[in-house]
Amino acid sequence: MLIVLGNNIMVEGMEKKRADDQLTNPVTQRLGYRLRRASSAMMANLGAALEAIGLRPVEATIIMLIGANPDCIQSDIGRTLGIKRANMVPLITALTQRDLVRKSPVDGRSVALSLTPLGEEACARANRIMTAHEQRYEERLTPEIRQALQDALDILEREEPGATA
């Protein structure tokens, strides 16, 4: 039986929360859920900060990796970042069209990547933004907690894909 009393809904004698009240979330203490939420919040804030220089986090990460590894191979960038080839091609094409990345043929199929002068400037700006962004989060944690978090993340990253308990 459904009874409506003001803004509250009663179902068989049990009060249900109003639509604008916070829902009970049974997964809030699950590690994967918490990691995803923390990552989403950090990435959204980083994305907003990088918008000022016209880059998305993935683009900034790619140019920083290229900047640290001049003449690296596109497939190595994709492998390092866990980006499939089909997704790397349009990313590199867009960065090339914006004159941030230069492609140089290496052999029949491989292409070496390096930053253009404009790409080097964007890389430096992205690095400053990302450093400031990370510091905002790191300042909330003690050095001991930061190290413990890094250690825990290292352990979790080593988990084999598809592994089950």
Assign domain 30-141 one CATH number from 3.20.20.210, 2.60.40.650, 1.10.10.10, 3.40.718.10.
Answer: 1.10.10.10
Model pLDDT, residue 50: 98
Model pLDDT, residue 70: 96
Model confidence band, residue 124 (pLDDT cutoffs 50, 70, 90): very high
Domain spans, the chain: 30-141
**Separation of CA 87 from chain center:** 15
> pTM (2 decimals)?
0.78
Whether residue 7 has pLDDT greater than 60: no
- Buried b / exposed e over 120-137, threshold 16 CB at 10 Å, is bebbebbeebbeebeeee
Model confidence band, residue 5 (pLDDT cutoffs 50, 70, 90): very low
Model pLDDT, residue 1: 45
pLDDT tens-digit readout, 27-73? 988 999 999 999 999 999 999 999 999 999 999 999 999 999 999 99
